[in-house]
Amino acid sequence: MKLVFATHNKNKLKEVQALFPKNITLLSLDDIGCFEEIPETADTLDGNAILKANFVKEHYQMDCFADDTGLVVKSLHGEPGVFSARYAGEQKDNEANIEKLLSNLEDKDNREARFKTVIALNLNDHQHLFMGICTGHILKEKKGEHGFGYDAVFQPDNSNKSFAEMELSEKSKISHRGKALQYLIDYLAK
């Protein structure tokens, strides 16, 4: 089976490929000749995942899935949320996003946060949604060299490591994306 993962993000693609069964060939947007940035104009993670999956289905007539992930920080009233990738601006700069997050949390005692990933799958003219959540808190400074996005400042509950200090296999077992992907993989195995 061939399945398009609607992403240009090579780090995200690498994470997903590591979890997928070998009998499913994953193709990225680049692999199918889609080099444009698919607009993420919805005001929810579910909506953005659906927009991206529908774009691929409509323009390339291929079975596909797309995800959207947001970091929700309690004391920031849910920020950055749906704007996580563009928190510090449209350039989607990970370092600038982390700096803005840490700056906004400087005077806050409550650093509770959760990551949420929603995956929209378009397969055989049906759409399915899968969700994964990982709770934790935001560290006061970056720790670790692995991962991407907010991984260096997010420490999941029941762990003494940030996501960026974990090997990919360790992170995938507990992460929001890992959970959502497992639901997707289990569904595809039926």
Place of tokens 């309690």: 74
Catalytic residue selected from 63, 68, 109, 157? 68
Residue 134 burial (C-beta neighbours within 10 Å; 0-12, 13-18, 19+): buried
Q: Decide if 68 is catalytic.
A: yes
Buried b (16+ CB within 10 A) or exposed e, 44-65: ebbbbbbbbbbbbbeebeebbb
Alpha carbons 87 and 96: distance in angstroms, whole number: 8
Place of tokens 């104009």: 41
Residues known to be catalytic: 68
